[in-house]
Structure 1
Amino acid sequence: MDRVLHFILAIVVVAILALLVSHNRKQIRIRYVIQLLVIEVLLAWFFLNSDIGLGFVKGFSEMFEKLLGFANEGTNFVFGNMNDKGLAFFFLKVLCPIVFISALIGIFAAYPHPAYRHSRDRYRAV
């Protein structure tokens, strides 16, 4: 029961913060917000309580573990096994993988999504 109350409190706090920073509160469509919250709860239940959902989560986890393994190998190549000696742990184990994943996201963002094929000018990367 504490989890449900914590979830409801978090949603209320986020909604209040969103209303406080909103420029035009009259254009907020409550129906859409409620629909998205219901979809979010259903997806969370699906991913956490079904075998298929857990399979998706496990697959994404393995994919990111592989990407972080590639980042670790690249870091070892560039910095000459400083990581194995315990030098500069924060830089090598935290910052370099963040830069690597951010670069991948930037590369993927540069390619237009097929859904936006017809309106490419509006979604062009600057």
Structure 2
Amino acid sequence: MSTFMYGANVHANGIRQHYLRFGGQQGERKARPSIVIIPGITSPAVTWAFVGERFGLHYDTYVLDVRGRGLSEASASLDYSLDAQSRDVIEFARELDLKDYIIVGHSMGARIGARAAATQPPA
């Protein structure tokens, strides 16, 4: 049985951010931890669906397309700095009202996640 629920966009930190959602039942918020997965530099969210499936068995899981990747907003005029991308994660979580979320990152995603956690740890 798949844990995939849907793909969606959210407007956070001034850009369109795309994500894939795994775990739980659609329309139902179970009291379990949330995880935001941030893929590496060459990986859109869809390539991490197999990881989202596994995490979705135990967590409310969100796989994020970072700016300029996958279906998130891309433009030559966007700021692609580590600070901007870490603010994307913080504002993404805030927009979705995620509390006490866990960040899991790979490669560049790990750098973004570490900066987000150091800048503003989840409340």
- TM-score tier, shorter chain, comes to under 0.3
**Rg comparison, structure with higher value:** 1
More strand by proportion, 1 or 2? 2
More helix by proportion, 1 or 2? 1
| TM-score under structure 1 length normalisation | 0.23
